[in-house]
Structure 1
Amino acid sequence: MKTTRERTAPAPDTHEMVVIHRGLRREARLLVELIAAVEPGDTARARVLADHFRDYRLGLDNHHHGEDEHLWPPLLARVDLEADLVLRMEAQHERIAASLTAAEAALPAWEGGAGEAERDALVAVLAEHRAVLVEHLDDEEAFLLPLAARHLSAHEWGALGEHFMTSTPKPKLLFFLGMVLEDADRDERAAMLTALPSAARLLWHAVGRPAYARRVRTVRSSAR
């Protein structure tokens, strides 16, 4: 018989996923806008944004792989009527992965010469990616997060963050932390930083925050 998590187990704080999604929505939008603004022939700028896309893809892929491994399986084992919702989330992940693969395939032609036609082709693919991503994030927040709050323990939910930490190259972790914290409000930022070990918090303030600020200035130098 399928059951929910034990009532005595602490409930997960699923709002942190909303904060993460906020950063993903922003970066997906900016990639479209920033690449569309690159002048034909500006290969230096193209390389900057191509590298940024690769980091964005790394973060999104690792985030979704964590859900594939640690979120969908326990939910499917415990829900009945809502199983179709979980399966829809899985299908959306496949569409997002396909859109990222299409963008990766279109990237080298533009990065190498910064041609106008290649730029516009890449922008079209990234716009489609953004549409698929936003649909998924909206659905996940509206329907999946309440389901996770009812059926998962805080320990099970924490496996998502642990997966991201272990599957992401350590030099990239501070960048992704900055990406998430950028649009967080004061309480959200405090909650996410408090959850980190003290050494990680010190590293963020001393190294990560200024490095992220420099990265933002470089990547968004021609934001419209």
Structure 2
Amino acid sequence: MQLRALHHHHSDEDANIWPHLRSLVPEATEVLDRLEADHQEMDDVIERLTGPRRPAPEQASDLRSLHTLLNAHLDLEESRVVPLIRSHVTPGWWEEAGKEVSKNHGRDLPMVAAWTLDAADEEQRAHIFATAPLLLRVLYRLSWRRAYERRAAQVFG
């Protein structure tokens, strides 16, 4: 599920966020091209990981590769792109894009929402709760959070 959600996240960035950011900040093209290339490279690894079973050493190697790729990607995104988003993208556009993106997660939405809230700081979490539809807030509090916590405990111990 997390790998599928990661793929959807990257697809959403490539299809929605990066084109908008390119139109606002043409000089961001180089870094956005790099991030898109990272997405393709990670998608190739994700495809191998979610495909037919392979020997454990091969899967372990792919997991290490994905870990390395994802961390380098996030470092670049956080250092170069997040500041551009904060300075050039309006909150209204961002919220509308978020609504559109959430439609693409389908059955993964509960886990993705809980994962997002888990990673958010207090200010971000407060904003999400203040702007999310009531139904989503209730579902999160009654079910999604606990399901995510159980899954995280299984994965991370």
Confirm or deny that 1:153 pairs with 2:96.
Answer: no
Letter in 2 for 1:130: H
Which consecutive aligned stretches of 4+ in structure 1 deviate over 6 angstroms post-superposition? none
- For CA contacts below 8 A with separation 6 or more, give which structure has more relative contact order: 1
Letter in 2 for 1:131: T
Q: Give, in angstroms, the shift of residue 135 of structure 1.
A: 0.9
**What does residue 87 of structure 1 align with?**
33
User: CA 1:57–1:163 in structure 2 vs 1: closer, same or farther (change >3 Å)?
Assistant: farther
Query: For 1:204 and 1:196, how far apart are their aligned partners in 2?
Result: 11
Query: For 1:151 and 1:188, how far apart are their aligned partners in 2?
Result: 18
Q: Give, in angstroms, the shift of residue 127 of structure 1.
A: 0.7
* Percent sequence identity over aligned pairs: 26
Larger Rg: 1
TM-score normalised by the chain length of structure 2: 0.85
Query: For 1:150 and 1:216, how far apart are their aligned partners in 2?
Result: 33
Query: Which piece of structure 1 moves more, 125-134 or 210-219?
Result: 210-219
Confirm or deny that 1:201 pairs with 2:147.
Answer: no
User: Paired residues, what number?
Assistant: 157
Query: For 2:138 and 2:148, how far apart are their aligned partners in 1?
Result: 15
RMSD of aligned residue pairs (Cα, Å): 2.1
**What does residue 125 of structure 1 align with?**
62
- Show structure 1 runs of 5+ residues with no match: 1-54, 111-117
**What does residue 136 of structure 1 align with?**
73
TM-score normalised by the chain length of structure 1: 0.62
For residues 34-113 of structure 1, the aligned pairs below 5 Å read 55-105=1-51, 108-110=52-54
Query: For 2:135 and 2:109, how far apart are their aligned partners in 1?
Result: 14
Letter in 1 for 2:57: D
From 179, 182, 199, give the equivalent of 2:115.
Answer: 179
User: CA 1:91–1:218 in structure 2 vs 1: closer, same or farther (change >3 Å)?
Assistant: closer
Query: For 2:39 and 2:78, how far apart are their aligned partners in 1?
Result: 14
Query: For 1:175 and 1:63, how far apart are their aligned partners in 2?
Result: 13
Query: For 1:99 and 1:207, how far apart are their aligned partners in 2?
Result: 31
Would the aligned equivalents of 1:165 and 1:173 in 2 still touch at CA under 8 Å? Answer: yes
Q: Give, in angstroms, the shift of residue 100 of structure 1.
A: 1.3
Higher helix share: 2
Q: Deviations over 1:31-51 (max 9, x none)?
A: xxxxxxxxxxxxxxxxxxxxx
Query: For 2:137 and 2:154, how far apart are their aligned partners in 1?
Result: 24
Q: Give, in angstroms, the shift of residue 183 of structure 1.
A: 4.1
Query: For 1:182 and 1:81, how far apart are their aligned partners in 2?
Result: 33
Q: Deviations over 1:146-184 (max 9, x none)?
A: 122233222322244223311112x43222222222344
Query: Which piece of structure 1 moves more, 128-137 or 195-204?
Result: 195-204
